Amino acid sequence: MEELRNGKIALNEINIREYIDRTARNVVQYLIGENLSVSVAESCTGGLIASAITSVSGASAVFECGIVSYSERIKEEIVGVPRETIESFGVVSAQTAIAMAEGVKKLSGSDLAIAVTGLAGPKSESDTLPVGTVYISTVYRGKAFAENLRLYELGGFGRNMNRLLSAAFALERALVTLEGRGI
Q: Per-10-residue mean pLDDT for the chain, 183 residues long?
A: 62 93 98 98 98 98 98 97 98 98 98 97 83 97 97 90 97 95 62
- pLDDT score at 55: 98
Q: Which residues contact 95 (CB under 8 A, 6 or more apart)?
A: 85, 88, 89, 146
| Predicted pLDDT of residue 156 | 82
What is the pLDDT, as a whole number, of residue 155? 81
pTM score, two decimals? 0.94
Residues 6+ apart with CB under 8 A from 85: 93, 95, 96, 99
Q: What pLDDT does 163 receive?
A: 98
Q: Give the span between the Cα atoms of 27 and 31, in whole angstroms.
A: 6
Sequence letter at residue 114: I
Q: Domains of the chain, with CATH numbers?
A: 2-178 (3.90.950.20)
Q: What is the pLDDT of residue 4?
A: 62
